[in-house]
Amino acid sequence: MQALTNKVEVVSREPLTFWERMYLPAILKGMAITFSHMFKKKPTINYPEKKRPFSPVFRGLQILNRDEEGREKCTACGLCAVACPAEAITMEAAERQPGEEHLYKEEKYAAKYEINMLRCIFCGFCEEACPKDAIYLSETFAPSNFQRKGFIYGKDDLLIPDPIKEPEAFAKARGSRAAHPEGHGNEH
């Protein structure tokens, strides 16, 4: 049968020599490789004590954003839910009542906002679809849980702390990216 490519290598079928039958050179070569790894830098990181830096394009847990006055930015337009290929986002809209201007930026807001983290694929489409920059993917991992219902995050779990009342918690939740890096979020 003719070969399909010219990458044919003829294999020698000669009988093994005495040293090859004892496998001693192969064992010594393997031991030398193992011994050489003892002097190389360890690739593992002792996690809680040391944390590795995130990539600038890392996509972590979703955060619902607030404006400078602490009002929620989300207007419950539903574009993030429509853009989500995993259909992980559900929301219900409500009208802002008189006297709630300090809570919600727009007349319409998300009364219920849930993300099923078991379905979420961290693609970032929700972040790109949002016209109000109300949702972004943070530098936080989704924590582990023992029950499925613990992975369905409600609005209270996703909303960033108030920048006026809790500035330290707001800065920590915002992460090292104070502004979206190029290619993330909405560039206006």
Q: Which domains does the chain have, with CATH numbers?
A: 62-174 (3.30.70.3270)
Which tens digit of pLDDT belongs to each residue from 124-176?
A: 999 999 999 999 898 888 788 899 999 999 999 999 888 888 888 888 777 76
| pTM for the structure as a whole | 0.67
**Beta partners for residue 112, in sequence order:** 92
Cα Rg of the chain (Å, integer):
27
Mean pLDDT (the chain) is 85
For the chain, counts of helices (H) and of strands (E): 6, 5
Q: Nearest Cα to 88, choosing from 109, 108, 62, 60?
A: 62
What's the first-to-final CA gap in the chain, in angstroms?
Answer: 63
Residue 186: which pLDDT band, with cuts at 50, 70 and 90?
very low
Residue 24's φ and ψ, nearest 5 degrees, are -65, -45
Percentage of residues in the chain with pLDDT exceeding 90? 36
